[in-house]
Amino acid sequence: MNLIGLTIFGLKFFIIVIVLAFTCEFINAIFGGGHGTILTPLLIMLGFSLLTIVPSVLLAEVISGVLVGMAHHKVEM
């Protein structure tokens, strides 16, 4: 399968994976869960191997969790 992607610093970034991760994280933010449950089967159907899916989903969860935590953190002065 030939997915559209771009190479930055020798790493291949697939545009469809980024869009799917963003969409699933949006659903996660609205409903309070389901990011990995939705994204993992979609990536399997696209033909990615499990050894690349699991770290990708976990990394997306960590990054989004940190960003959401920073966005919701209130600084008192």
**Residue 67: predicted pLDDT:** 78
Question: What percent of the chain is modeled with pLDDT above 90?
Answer: 0
Burial of 24-44, coded b for 16+ CB within 10 Å and e otherwise, reads bbebbeeeeeebbebbbebbe
Distance, in Å, from the CA atom of 28 to the CA atom of 48, rounded to the nearest integer, reads 22
* pTM greater than the 0.85 cutoff: no
**Residue 4: predicted pLDDT:** 57
Assess whether pLDDT exceeds 60 at residue 20: yes
Q: How far apart are the first and last CA of the chain?
A: 53
- Structure confidence by residue, pLDDT tens digits, 50-61: 888 888 888 888
CB-count exposure of residue 21 (10 Å: 0-12, 13-18, 19+): buried
